[in-house]
C-alpha cells in the first residue's frame, strides 16, 4: 500500500515568518509542503513566484508539492523545477498541450501531477494517465483557502481510483485539495486519497503540529 501523506498548504502560513512555520509543520511530521502558485488570471488571487519557492526550498527538509494555478504553465515549468519542486502539478483547464507539459516536468526528473477543477470530468485525463505520477482532485474552486469541501469530490476520487486500478496504474498517487479538516479526512482517505492538502484545517488549529499528528493517525 502507498504511504498516506499530509501536505500542509503554506497559503495559510504567516508569510512574514515562513521559516518558523515550516519548522512547526516539520515538527508535526508533514510529509510534503504544498505551495500554491496563483497568477491572477487562472484564479483571481495572486501569490508567489519561483524566487520564493527557491527560498522555501533552502529552509525546508521535506519535499515541495508545487500546485500551479496559472495559465500557460508550460512557460514556467523550468523555473519552478529549478527552484526545487519535487512535484509540479498543472491544471488540465489551463493548457492546450497537457501531454507536452507533462513531458517537460518529467524531463527534470521530478513528479508530474495534473489537477482537475470541481466541474472537470475525469475523461479529460484518460489518455495521459500513464504519464502521470499524481492526480490532484480539487474539492473547492481554486483561488482561496478556507472554503468548504465540495462533497461530489468523493465520487470523483472513487471513480479515479477505479480508472487507475483498471489500467494497472496503482502507483499513481491521488491528492485532494480544499476543505480538508480533521472531521472529514478519514472519509476522504477511505475513498482512496493518498495525499491530503490542508491549509486552514492545520493553521487554524491552536497547535498546528499536533493537528498534523492527529490527521496522520486518522488516515493511518
> Which residues are near ligand DX5 by CB under 6 A?
9, 11-12, 34, 36, 67, 140, 142-147, 177-180, 197-201
For the record, the C-alpha cell of 28 comes out as 508535526
Whether 194 is catalytic: no
The kind and range of the H/E element at 137 are strand 134-138
Instruction: Tell me, yes or no, if 177 is annotated catalytic.
Output: yes
Residues 6+ apart with CB under 8 A from 101: 73, 74, 77, 90, 95
199 CB-near residues (< 8 Å, 6+ apart): 8, 9, 10, 11, 12, 34, 145, 146
Which entry of 36, 39, 65, 133 is annotated as an active-site residue? 36
Comparison of 69 and 77: residue with beta carbon closer to ligand DX5: 69
- Least Å distance, CB 4 to ligand DX5, is 17
CB of 148 to ligand DX5, least distance (A): 8
Looking at the Cβ atoms of 169 and 176, the one nearer to ligand DX5 is: 176
Catalytic residue among 21, 65, 133, 177: 177
Matching residue, cell 533552502: 58
Task: Please say which residue, 140 or 154, places its beta carbon nearer to ligand DX5.
Answer: 140
Residue with smallest beta-carbon separation from Zn ion: 67
Q: Please give the residue ranges that form the binding site for Zn ion (CB under 5 A).
A: 36, 67, 177
Give the residue numbers annotated as catalytic, written as ranges: 36, 177
Amino acid at each position: 500500500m502507498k504511504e498516506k501523506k499530509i501536505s500542509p498548504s503554506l497559503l495559510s502560513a504567516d508569510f512574514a515568518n515562513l521559516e518558523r512555520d515550516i519548522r512547526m509543520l516539520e515538527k508535526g511530521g508533514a510529509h510534503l509542503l504544498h505551495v500554491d502558485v496563483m497568477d491572477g488570471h487562472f484564479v483571481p488571487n495572486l501569490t508567489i513566484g519561483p524566487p520564493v519557492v527557491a527560498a522555501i526550498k533552502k529552509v525546508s527538509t521535506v519535499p515541495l508539492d508545487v500546485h500551479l494555478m496559472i495559465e500557460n504553465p508550460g512557460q514556467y515549468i523550468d523555473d519552478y523545477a529549478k527552484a526545487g519542486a519535487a512535484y509540479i502539478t498543472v491544471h488540465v483547464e489551463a493548457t492546450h498541450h497537457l501531454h507536452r507539459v507533462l513531458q517537460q516536468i518529467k524531463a527534470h526528473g521530478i513528479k508530474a501531477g495534473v489537477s482537475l477543477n470541481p466541474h472537470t470530468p475525469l475523461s479529460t485525463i484518460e489518455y495521459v494517465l500513464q504519464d502521470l505520477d499524481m492526480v490532484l482532485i480539487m474539492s473547492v474552486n481554486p483561488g482561496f483557502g478556507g472554503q468548504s469541501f465540495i462533497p461530489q469530490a468523493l465520487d470523483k476520487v472513487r471513480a479515479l481510483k477505479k480508472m487507475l486500478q483498471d489500467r494497472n496504474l496503482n502507483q499513481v498517487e491521488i491528492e485532494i485539495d480544499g476543505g480538508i479538516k480533521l472531521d472529514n479526512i478519514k472519509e476522504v482517505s477511505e475513498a482512496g486519497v493518498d495525499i491530503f492538502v490542508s491549509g486552514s484545517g492545520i493553521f487554524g488549529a491552536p497547535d498546528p503540529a499536533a493537528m498534523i499528528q492527529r490527521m496522520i493517525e486518522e488516515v493511518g
